[in-house]
Amino acid sequence: MEAENQIQVDLGHLLAFDPYHHFASPPKSREDLVTECLRAGTKLVQAITDGLFNLSATEAIEGPLVKLPKPTTRLPREKHLPRPKPPTKWEMFAKSKGIQKRKKNKVLWDEQTDSWKRSYGYDRVNDDADVPIIEAKMTDEPGSDPFAKRKEEKKKRVEKTEKNRLQNLKQAAKVGALPSHVQLAATALPITGTQAAPKKITKDELGNVAGLAATATASGGKFDKKVAGEKAVKHQGKHRKFLPAAEGSGMGNREKEQTDKVLSKLMARNSHEILNVGKAVSMYNVKKQRDGRNQKGRSSFDSSSKLKPNGKPMKGDKKSPYQKSRKGGSHGGGASRKGKVD
């Protein structure tokens, strides 16, 4: 009976599968279903962890390290099988004429130089450069260069083969059987008549191009009317904006702001003081003075509150001397709260 209730565990994929699971009765509510599923799920996860801990572990810095075995379940293909290529022009021609493929030798005998040469490439047979003399024929015009003519003919042949190659690729692309490394080259061609593969332009690219176009006016696009919804061009290119080196009168506001900001942040971070003693003492003294004054003359207290429009006592009265010892920012504030003297 135990063998029947085995959960299949594939540690390579960290997968656990219970083929015998079934609901005894249809669950009454969503919560019941959820609890049932969670219970079954925990059993499966437990099976995976049991398997994992049964594997031999090596010690690493973070803890025990386990090498998972090879997965046993075969996952389906992610991409489709490669599609059959359409025959190239030469292949069709060869088929129609009945031409068979023949095995070529590595080296061939070259009559020109009386040596063994390759059939193509570096040291090849029938190389144009090896021909020292070309005898003039009756049909030749005087003044024409036969060597140049040969070069031109070769160029034409090369162009023709290249054209055929591209045509073959286009045919293959139509079917979708392009070899993957060729994909980009083929889509860059001006394909006429056929449905070109749409080139995906990302949002960023579009934004960049739009920015370029917008600023390509005489005044840098500053005075152009913006279309509804068009955003301002973000910094294009390497654009770093710095504050001016010397502002109008003395150290200008902006530089002061920047340095103050940085300074306060750093000071707050590095201040090990929990308490600003000087400030605390002065606040305490002030409070003491105020209390003394209040005790002496009640009228002064009343008049001071009446002076205020709401008739309420002034705000700064009831503050503890330790509360205000904050040095810039939350860091100092938190620290001060921690160090409250009771």
Partner 1 sequence: MRLLDEAETTVVFEKLLKFIGNNLKNIVESPARRYCFRLQKNRVYYVSEALVKRATNISQKNLVAMGTCVGRFTHGGKFHLTVQCLGLLAANAKHKVWLK
Q: Cβ 215 to partner 1, closest distance in Å? A: 24
Q: What angle do CA 116, 120, 125 make, to 5 degrees?
A: 40
| Residue with smaller CB distance to partner 1, 132 or 237 | 237
The rounded distance, in Å, linking the Cα atoms of 109 and 259 is 82
Q: CB-wise, 51 or 328, nearer to partner 1?
A: 328
Half-sphere exposure of 246 (CA within 13 A, CB side): 0
Residue 199 binds partner 1 (CB under 8 A): no
Q: Which amino acid is at 91?
A: E
Window of 104-112, 121-129, 215-223, 236-244 that interacts with partner 1 by CB under 8 A = 236-244
A 10 A CB-CB count for 337 gives: 13
Is the CB of residue 247 less than 8 Å from the CB of residue 255? Answer: yes
Stretch that binds partner 1, among 77-85, 185-193, 216-224, 240-248 (CB under 8 A): 240-248
- For partner 1, the binding residue among 76, 132, 190, 250 (CB under 8 A) is 250
Using CB under 8 A, which of 258, 282, 303, 320 touches partner 1? 258
Q: Which stretch binds partner 1 (CB under 8 A): 141-149, 177-185, 245-253, 296-304?
A: 245-253
Number of other CB atoms surrounding residue 8 within 10 Å:
14
In DSSP terms, 109 is beta-bridged to: 116
Q: Which is nearer to partner 1, 127 or 255 (CB)?
A: 255
Pairwise CA distance, residues 155 & 161, whole Å: 10
52-60, 82-90, 107-115, 265-273 -> range binding partner 1 (CB under 8 A): 265-273
Residues, the chain? 342
CA pair distance 164, 168, nearest whole angstrom: 6
Rounded least distance, CB 266 to partner 1, Å: 5
User: Looking at 3, 245, 307, 341, which residue binds partner 1 (CB under 8 A)?
Assistant: 245
275 interacts with partner 1 by CB under 8 A: no
Query: Whole-number minimum distance, CB 246 to partner 1, in Å?
Result: 5
271 binds partner 1 (CB under 8 A): yes
Rounded Cα gap, residues 161 and 96, in angstroms: 20
**CB under 8 Å to 11, separation ≥6 — which residues?**
48, 51, 52, 55, 68, 69, 71
Q: What share of the chain is helix, strand, coil (3-state, %, to 5)?
A: 45, 5, 50
Number of residues that bind partner 1 (CB under 8 A): 21
Q: Which stretch binds partner 1 (CB under 8 A): 219-227, 255-263, 277-285, 289-297?
A: 255-263
Where on the chain is the footprint of partner 1 (CB under 8 A)? 240, 242-246, 250-251, 255-256, 258-263, 265-267, 270-271
